[in-house]
Amino acid sequence: MRLTAIRTFEGVLELITGLHIGSGNAEMHIGGTDNPVIKHPKTQEPYIPGSSLKGKIRSLLEWRWGFVAYTDGKPVGFSHLDRIPEEARPHAQTLLKLFGGAPEGAGHDQTLVEEIGPTRLGFWDCPLTRSWVEEMHHRNMLLIETKMENMIDRIRGVAQHPRTTERVPSGSTFEFRLTLRVHDNEDLTPMVFEGLKLLELTGLGGSVSRGYGKVRFSSLSLDGQDVRDHLQTGDLMTTG
């Protein structure tokens, strides 16, 4: 196996609706919010972690190909390949090539482990575009909004359990970057495009079912060539 190229996806990821990716801060400060978004420790600007993108896209692809039924809810690994139907196994192997998967336990086919090889995709954290930050500062607007939420008692019609959630507002734009290692001139880009399209169709971050996290790629290039049209063609839900 020989590394023959490193390809780069670059673009702008735009928020159609507010985005919440939690910071994991368990402390509640006076005057603070219940659910803060993750922020860069130095700039205090919100960003999209590469780990969030990787986890969401991988999960979407596993659902798309029906792998979840064979993995007990866990990410696809080498130990699951024997359970996956033979016709879908090549897709599972492609997914392992792209996202990685430790060959858990003993007894795995070493030839297959060597064939799949190292993880191909590298997800980078996505900072806000500088043009967006400068525009918001020029307009004296904040980079984060605070949204009040509550639960309604269906019988009394009374709001209960009020809470505040931070969101990055709609219209915000982030710098997107993804690298793809190519071994022996293989072409794994079709599944990458499929994952990016699924991300546009379903959303990112928390509370997607309540309208959060709708995103789109306002621009997308691969090695400097515009590939935005690759996300517009075909119906992913009907391809085999």
pLDDT of residue 240: 42
Minimum mean pLDDT range among 114-118, 200-204, 227-231, 233-237: 233-237
Look at residue 160 and tell me if it is in a domain.
Answer: yes
Average pLDDT over residues 104-123: 78
Look at residue 162 and tell me if it is in a domain.
Answer: yes
Share of the chain above pLDDT 70, in %: 82
Structural domain count of the chain: 1
pLDDT of residue 82: 85
Look at residue 157 and tell me if it is in a domain.
Answer: yes
Contacts of 53 (CB under 8 A, 6+ apart): 123, 126, 178, 199, 204
**Structure tokens that stand for 205 in this block:** 């971050």
pLDDT of residue 29: 41
User: What residue numbers bound the domain in which 219 lies?
Assistant: 3-48+120-231
Residue predicted with more confidence, 163 or 101: 101
pLDDT of residue 123: 96
Look at residue 24 and tell me if it is in a domain.
Answer: yes
Interval 14-65: pLDDT, tens: 999 999 998 665 444 444 455 888 999 999 999 999 999 999 999 999 999 9
Say what the pTM is: 0.85
Look at residue 112 and tell me if it is in a domain.
Answer: no
Look at residue 104 and tell me if it is in a domain.
Answer: no
25/172 Cα distance (integer angstroms): 23
